[in-house]
Structure 1
Amino acid sequence: MGTPSDHGRLAEHVEELLAVDGPLPILEAGHPVLRRVAEPFDGQLAPALLARFVEALRRTMHAAPGVGLAAPQVGVGLRIAVIEDPAPVPEEVRAARGRVPQPFRVLVNPSYEPVGDGRAAFFEGCLSVPGWQAVVARHAEVRLRALDPEGQAVDEVFSGWPARIVQHETDHLDGVLYLDRAEPRSLASSRAMTQWWGQATPERAAEELGFGLPGA
Structure 2
Amino acid sequence: MLHVSNPTPFSAARIRETVQEILAAGVLPPIVQAGHPVLRQQAAAFDGQLDSTELAALIALMREVMHDAPGVGLAAPQLGIPLQLAVLEDQYDVDAEISAVRGRSPLEFFAVINPAYRPVGNGSAAFYEGCLSLHGLQAVVARHESVRLDFTDPSGTARQQEFSGWQARIVQHETDHLHGILYIDRAELRSLSNNAEYGARWAHPGIDLARQELGFLPGGPAI
2:141 corresponds to 1:142: no
2:60 corresponds to 1:86: no
Deviation at 1:134, TM superposition (A): 0.2
Counterpart pick for 1:168 among 170, 173, 188: 173
Structure 2: runs of 5+ lacking an equivalent = 1-9
Residue of structure 2 in register with 1:206 after alignment: 211
Counterpart pick for 1:43 among 40, 48, 70: 48
Quote the Cα distance in structure 2 between the aligned partners of 1:200 and 1:118.
18
2:202 corresponds to 1:188: no
| TM score, norm. by length of structure 2 | 0.92
Residue of structure 1 in register with 2:65 after alignment: 60
Superimposed CA distance per residue, residues 143-200 of structure 1 (whole angstroms, 9 cap, x where no aligned partner): 0000100111220110000000000000000000000000010000001011101100
Superimposed CA distance per residue, residues 14-58 of structure 1 (whole angstroms, 9 cap, x where no aligned partner): 110112223221000000000000110000001100111111100
Q: How does 1:23-38 map to 2 (within 5 A)?
A: 23-38=28-43
Deviation at 1:13, TM superposition (A): 1.2
Q: Quick one: which amino acid aligns to residue 221 of structure 2? A: G
* Residue range with higher mean Cα deviation, 206-215 or 166-175: 206-215
Deviation at 1:136, TM superposition (A): 0.2
Q: How many residues align?
A: 212
SS at structure 1 position matched to 2:115: strand
| TM score, norm. by length of structure 1 | 0.95
Residue of structure 2 in register with 1:215 after alignment: 221
**Where in structure 1 do 4 or more consecutive aligned residues deviate above 4 Å?**
none
Contact 2:89/2:108 (<8 A) preserved: yes
Q: Quick one: which amino acid aligns to residue 172 of structure 2? A: Q
Contact 1:87/1:99 (<8 A) preserved: no
Q: Quick one: which amino acid aligns to residue 125 of structure 2? A: A
2:130 corresponds to 1:130: no
